[in-house]
């Protein structure tokens, strides 16, 4: 049995808006990941994601 290929789902624009809002409210990366239904490790550096 071969392993399943990994899939990557990019953040959608609405996810980015949610992420920026939660970051502004001082949520932790883990809390943001939980709200978005993602792994904290997949979010990477939140400050880099929300830069304009």
pLDDT tens per residue across span 20-48: 999 999 999 899 999 999 888 888 777 66
* Helical spans, DSSP H, in the chain: 13-24, 29-36, 40-43, 46-49
Domain residues for the domain of 33 are 13-45
Asked if residue 18 belongs to a domain, the reply is yes
Asked if residue 4 belongs to a domain, the reply is no
When divided into structural domains, the chain yields a total of 1
Asked if residue 3 belongs to a domain, the reply is no
Asked if residue 50 belongs to a domain, the reply is no
CA separation (Å) from 23 to 1, 8, 19, 40?
A: 42, 23, 6, 13
Token pair for 9:
């789902």
Asked if residue 1 belongs to a domain, the reply is no
What are the tens digits of pLDDT across the range 2-12? 787 777 778 88
Asked if residue 52 belongs to a domain, the reply is no
Instruction: Give the pLDDT score at 7.
Output: 72
Asked if residue 21 belongs to a domain, the reply is yes
């Amino acid at each position: 049995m071969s392993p399943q290929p990994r899939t990557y789902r990019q953040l959608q624009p609405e996810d980015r808006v949610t992420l920026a809002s939660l970051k502004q409210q001082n949520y932790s990366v883990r809390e943001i990941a939980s709200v978005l239904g993602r792994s904290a490790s997949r979010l990477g550096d939140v400050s880099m994601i929300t830069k304009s």
